[in-house]
Amino acid sequence: MTVVRCPTCDRPVEWTEASRWRPFCSERCKLIDLGAWAAEKHAIPGEVVETEDGPKRERDRDDD
């Protein structure tokens, strides 16, 4: 059986169909991680693009 660590709290999580929130240990840890993404505490690296409003990441550009 494969066991992974919860990305939020580091608890061991069995990678099975019974582990409803995998790779997280619980819904709480899943929501904490989602909140971190929403607050931009996590980000996927990308090139910085200069705009009239100042530097922005390429993923933030408007394609008008």
In the numeric block, the tokens 């997280």 are attached to 24
* Residue 41 near residue 34, CB atoms below 8 Å: no
pTM, entire model: 0.64
Please give the residue range of the domain that contains residue 34: 3-60
Q: Annotated binding site for Zn(2+): which residue ranges?
A: 6, 9, 25, 29
37 sits in which H/E element: helix 27-38
CATH for 17: 3.30.50.10
* Residue 64 pLDDT exceeds 60: no
Q: At 61, is the pLDDT very low, low, confident or very high (cuts 50, 70, 90)?
A: very low
User: What is the structure's pLDDT at 50?
Assistant: 77
Compute the residue count for the chain: 64
How many domains are contained in the chain? 1
**pLDDT tens across 3-55, in order?**
999 999 999 999 999 999 999 999 999 999 999 999 888 888 888 777 777 65
Mark the binding-site residues, compressed into ranges: 6, 9, 25, 29
**Tokens linked to 62:** 């408007």
